[in-house]
Amino acid sequence: MKKHFLLLAIFCAGLFASCGNNGAEVARLSAQVDSLVAVTQRLEAEHFEMSEAVENLAAAIDQLRAKKASQSASANYDSAPAQSKQSASSSSSSSSSKQEAKSSNQSQSKASASSSGSAPSGYYMKIGTKQELKSLGLLDKGVIKKGVVNTDGLNMSIFKSVNIKSTKELKINAYKPKLLTDHPNKSYEMKLDEDSEEDITYLRIKDPDAFWSKSHFLIIQM
């Protein structure tokens, strides 16, 4: 825009020079120049306002996409397949009582581990945006060190329990999700869904035993 204005000024200066002492012609051309300058300035102001509006709209869209991705990730956790209970329906009442007692003992063990700061049993995962993980204290210095989670004083309620035998694939609503915990590279693969209009990446666990061998936690930053 400024380049066009400069060229216009140079052109008008040439016209003034060619007019010599013709005062009336100079006045007419000067009036036209003033009018063109006013139009140019108005267009430049409108262009600036439009650019600022586009930037604000893009920022709002980014915020909405991040919120939608976080909500979709939470919905995916809730819809994860439950562990098969066919054996429980065919077992005797005494076997059912033993199972309930075992579950109660496991719950007490996890609660005790969480309060005492010792390493909890089982496998856990958490997927969230950088801001969400930071608000939960998972990005604080010392919580994740060299891909291993420090469970001292960690609030286990923020994690979802994982059945490593049935959990073979995770859908992540992000373009390039980042694994913050340590897992052998050959035990999994990350693949972007190119057919989807949204940013969706699938984490496929090819070798569950190897994948969970270094860390019982899976933390992914969207």
Cα–Cα nearest to 173, from 67, 63, 78: 67
Phi, psi dihedral angles at 38 (to 5 degrees): -65, -40
For residues 180 and 147, the answer to whether their CB atoms sit within 8 Å is yes
Indicate whether 91 belongs to any domain: no
Task: Tell me the Cα Rg of the chain.
Answer: 32
Handedness of CA 109, 110, 111, 115 (dihedral sign): positive
Indicate whether 125 belongs to any domain: yes
Q: Give the number of other Cβ atoms within 10 Å of residue 217's Cβ.
A: 24
Q: Which residue did the predictor score with more confidence, 131 or 24? A: 131
Q: Give the number of other Cβ atoms within 10 Å of residue 183's Cβ.
A: 20
Q: What is the pLDDT of residue 44?
A: 76
Look up the domain containing 136 and give its range.
Answer: 109-221
Indicate whether 81 belongs to any domain: no
Question: What tokens were used for 11?
Answer: 């052109």
Split at pLDDT 50, 70, 90, the class of 185 is very high
* Same domain? 113 vs 212: yes
Indicate whether 56 belongs to any domain: yes
Number of domains present in the structure of the chain:
2
* Same domain? 210 vs 123: yes
Q: What is the percentage of the chain residues whose pLDDT exceeds 70?
A: 68
Indicate whether 85 belongs to any domain: no
* Same domain? 134 vs 48: no
Question: What tokens were used for 99?
Answer: 């199972």
- Give residue-wise pLDDT tens across range 12-34: 566 555 555 567 877 777 787 77
For residues 204 and 156, the answer to whether their CB atoms sit within 8 Å is no
Q: Is the pLDDT of residue 120 over 50?
A: yes
Question: What tokens were used for 175?
Answer: 């373009």
Indicate whether 211 belongs to any domain: yes
- Give residue-wise pLDDT tens across range 29-54: 778 777 887 777 777 778 777 777 77
Split at pLDDT 50, 70, 90, the class of 114 is very low
Cα–Cα nearest to 217, from 141, 164, 153: 164
Indicate whether 189 belongs to any domain: yes
